Amino acid sequence: MARRKELRGIVNALISSFNSRNNDINGYWAIGKLKGLSVKTYSDPITLNLLSNPPLCQHELCEQIRDQQTCKLMYLLDAQKIPREWVCHARISIHFCSVKPTSTETFRSSVGEFYRCMYEIIDDKGKLYIANSYGYCLPHSTEREFRRITE
- What tens digit of pLDDT does each residue of 56-98 get? 666 788 888 888 999 999 999 999 999 999 999 999 999 887 6
Instruction: Please check whether residue 139 is in contact with residue 32, taking contact to mean a CB–CB distance below 8 angstroms.
Output: yes
Residue 74 backbone zone (phi > 0: left; psi -120 to 50: alpha; other: beta): alpha
Residue 147: what pLDDT? 55
| Per-residue confidence (pLDDT) for residue 72, from 0 to 100 | 93
Question: Which pLDDT score, from 0 to 100, does residue 79 have?
Answer: 93
pLDDT of residue 122: 93
Q: Answer with the residue of higher pLDDT: 149 or 134.
A: 134
Predicted local distance difference test score (pLDDT) of residue 109: 57
| Predicted confidence (pLDDT) per residue in 1-57, tens digit | 778 888 999 999 999 998 888 887 877 778 888 888 877 777 778 888 888 766 566
8 Å CB contact between 37 and 66:
no
Which has the minimum average pLDDT: 93-102, 106-115, 120-129? 106-115
pLDDT at position 57:
65
E strand or H helix at 129 = strand 128-137
Distance, CA of 60 to CA of 38 (rounded, Å) = 13
pLDDT reported for residue 141:
60
pLDDT for 84: 92
Neighbours of 73 (CB within 10 A): 22
Residue 143 confidence (pLDDT) above 60: no
Identify the band that residue 110 occupies on the pLDDT scale cut at 50, 70 and 90: low
